[in-house]
Amino acid sequence: MVKEKVIFFLDYANINRAAREKRYQLDYHDLLQYVGEERFLLDAHCYVPINPRNEHRLDGAIEDLWRAGYIVTTKVGTIAGGTYKCNFDVEITMDILKVVYQVKPDIIVLATGDADFVPLIQDVRKSGVRVEVAAFVETAGAQILNKCSGFIDLDVYFGGYLAAQQEPLEQEGSVEPYHDLIQSQQDEQKEVSEHDKAEQDEDLLPSHESDELEETVACLVEQMEKQPLVSAPDLSDGPDIYVPDSREEGGLHGNH
């Protein structure tokens, strides 16, 4: 059976902030494999904002993302009072539209809860490409949940990930060490100081650019449609970066 071609786009600041609010430590390499389960994962893009007051704080995280298989795009934000602004809406929109019109994947998975992407999602769906949104329900806008083709609940994913880590340890009779490990991780998370939270928090100012983004999408769509299509490369002989997941049959995806 021919696998569906999928390309993953990760709004790092949005998902990372939501995960920290729930005291989750996401494994972005594992998340990439989860998204590509039973599919042909063509590529993955990640967009990371940089704090202008501490431009090298995320260097390690960015290197980890590259090693995990992401194409990482960074941008230094602008200082705004006690925080900073760094909006990737236009960059993500342009990259997704290029992929849709040039590569023509079967599925776009957009990891974000930002409802400003609703106009983009609607235009991509009209082109015949399925758009799945991956996010935490509590922090995802109602409109983005209603307008996407399918929803991947990251709460379900995270619960399954923890269960997958626990099972082999229990089979080996290592329940107590595992319990101690989890407890130590939880204690470690609880001990994060307010100063660390403030420094780690992306604290990006709320975006009120839905109308502007909608106009940008319409303009970019018009430009893309005027450009000659570039045939997608023959993938039959190319490298396949899809790594099958070892979870039980069926996975945990929502509406694949």
Instruction: Determine the pLDDT at residue 164.
Output: 74
DSSP 69: T
| Structural domain includes residue 74 | yes
Collect all residues with Cβ–Cβ distance below 8 Å to 241 and sequence separation of at least 6: 36, 41, 42, 43, 69
DSSP 99: I
| Structural domain includes residue 30 | yes
Instruction: Determine the pLDDT at residue 158.
Output: 86
| Structural domain includes residue 244 | no
Counted domains in the chain: 1
Instruction: Determine the pLDDT at residue 244.
Output: 46
Instruction: Determine the pLDDT at residue 195.
Output: 46
What is the domain-level CATH number for residue 16?
Answer: 3.40.50.1010
| Structural domain includes residue 237 | no
- Note whether 78 and 205 are within 8 A (CB): no
| Structural domain includes residue 40 | yes
Strand pairing report for 5-11 and 40-50: parallel
Instruction: Determine the pLDDT at residue 82.
Output: 83
Q: Nearest-CA neighbor of 201 among 60, 21, 9, 65?
A: 21
How would you write the pLDDT of the chain (256 residues) with one tens digit per residue? Answer: 789 999 999 999 999 999 999 888 889 999 999 999 889 999 999 999 999 999 999 999 999 999 999 999 999 988 888 888 888 999 999 999 999 999 999 999 999 999 999 999 999 999 999 999 999 998 898 899 999 999 999 999 888 776 776 665 455 544 444 455 555 555 555 554 444 444 445 444 544 455 666 666 667 666 666 665 555 455 444 444 444 444 444 444 554 4
| Structural domain includes residue 46 | yes
| Structural domain includes residue 158 | yes
Strand pairing report for 78-80 and 150-153: unpaired
| Structural domain includes residue 112 | yes
Q: Which domain holds residue 219?
A: 5-225
Instruction: Determine the pLDDT at residue 113.
Output: 94
158: enclosing H helix or E strand: helix 154-171
